[in-house]
């Protein structure tokens, strides 16, 4: 299983997208799934890049985001990794829930973190990932 960000999920909806990730079952941390769901639920409130991309989706694509097929995209119960996420704060320092949960999922699933948006691979998340030897990979 490979841990991915929400932009990889959007790429899953493109039948033209080719990636070795398609050979794996993908894991989307709960808080990243929430980002997608909240952008779908209140599209007029946010005009960010994610919201704009979601506005053009078909109803089938929206349904996949709302209820991902577990053989393709697994959204783990956040309770399964919340203790690990909290323990990682001792090593990485204070963090957002999304960063802590993402890194905990990478450790739990023995996965690198695969990003579809390069900006998700820099800054505080990258610093925290390096502190615990989680590799961040940008998927083009």
What's residue 30's pLDDT? 96
pLDDT tens digits along 82-126: 999 999 988 888 888 999 999 999 999 999 999 998 888 888 899
Q: Which CATH number characterizes residue 67's domain?
A: 3.40.50.1010
pLDDT at 140: 77
Segments forming the whole domain that contains residue 11: 2-138
22-32 pLDDT, tens per residue?
Answer: 888 999 999 99
For residues 1 and 26, give the distance between their C-alpha atoms in angstroms, rounded to a whole number: 5
pTM of the model: 0.90
User: What's the structural domain count of the chain?
Assistant: 1
| 84 CB-near residues (< 8 Å, 6+ apart) | 104, 107, 108
């Amino acid at each position: 299983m490979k841990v991915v960000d929400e932009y990889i999920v959007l790429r899953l909806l493109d039948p033209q997208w080719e990636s070795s990730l398609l050979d794996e079952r993908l894991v989307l941390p709960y808080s990243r799934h929430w980002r997608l769901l909240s952008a779908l639920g209140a599209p007029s409130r946010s005009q960010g890049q994610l919201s704009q991309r979601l506005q053009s989706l078909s109803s089938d694509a929206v349904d996949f985001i709302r209820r991902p097929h577990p053989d393709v995209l697994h959204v783990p119960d956040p309770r399964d990794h919340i203790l690990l996420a909290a323990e990682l704060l001792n090593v990485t320092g204070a963090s957002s829930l999304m960063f802590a949960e993402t890194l905990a999922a990478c450790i739990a699933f023995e996965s690198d973190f695969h990003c579809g948006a390069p900006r998700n691979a820099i800054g505080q998340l990258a610093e925290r990932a390096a502190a615990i030897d989680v590799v961040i990979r940008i998927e083009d």
